[in-house]
């Protein structure tokens, strides 16, 4: 299901790609929780866990991360929220980065047009158009489908 927010979600997750690779792709338990929360399926999990001796590890991790970003973003806001719920306890650096990104949006220096100069146009769209902020995700983790 493609949504109006596909690009915004993709851009936000891509901004933290290195953290996704470091904290998520190396943690089988977290990846399994993504299956449990129906963020990804078993075939996706198998792809994310595979190793390939013929491919550079950094390139393979980059492909896996982009694959995960594409899966989450194409499914939209509910999937993104389930993703955040799934990683909350194990990927604290990523959740903190997403929350700080949201909280710092309003405090960024302004340019001559009164817009935040610290954020790109895409970052501003993400933070303005998503119907919930990452901090709201944290307050509603008891029900990831809200």
Tell me what the mean pLDDT of segment 105-130 comes to: 46
Look at residue 138 and tell me whether its pLDDT is greater than 60.
Answer: no
What pLDDT, on the 0 to 100 scale, is given for residue 113? 47
Domains of the chain as residue ranges with CATH: 6-137 (1.10.533)
Which H or E run contains 12? Answer: helix 6-15
Average pLDDT of the residues of the chain: 76
Q: Would you place residue 103 in the very low, low, confident or very high pLDDT band (cuts 50, 70, 90)?
A: low
> Which is nearest to 137 in space by CA: 68, 75, 79, 67?
79
> Which is nearest to 105 in space by CA: 20, 17, 15?
15
Residues 1-42 have pLDDT tens digits of 444 688 888 988 999 999 999 988 989 999 999 999 999 999
Instruction: Give the side-chain half-sphere CA count within 13 A for 122.
Output: 11
Residue 72 has phi, psi (to 5 degrees) of -65, -45
Look at residue 117 and tell me whether its pLDDT is greater than 50.
Answer: no
Residue 116 has phi, psi (to 5 degrees) of -65, 120
Q: pTM for the whole thing?
A: 0.70
């Amino acid at each position: 299901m493609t949504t109006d927010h596909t690009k915004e979600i993709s851009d936000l997750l891509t901004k933290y790609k290195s953290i996704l690779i470091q904290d998520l792709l190396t943690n089988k338990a977290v990846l399994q929780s993504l299956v449990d929360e129906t963020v990804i399926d078993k075939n996706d999990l198998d792809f994310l866990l595979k190793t390939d001796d013929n491919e550079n590890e950094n390139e393979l991790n980059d492909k896996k991360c982009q694959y995960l970003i594409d899966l989450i973003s194409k499914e939209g806001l509910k999937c993104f929220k389930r993703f955040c719920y799934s990683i909350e306890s194990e990927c604290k650096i990523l959740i903190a980065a997403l929350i700080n990104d949201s909280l710092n949006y309003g405090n960024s220096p302004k340019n001559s047009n009164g817009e935040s100069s610290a954020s790109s146009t895409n970052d501003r769209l993400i933070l303005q158009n998503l119907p919930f902020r990452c901090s709201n995700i944290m307050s509603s983790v008891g029900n990831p489908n809200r």
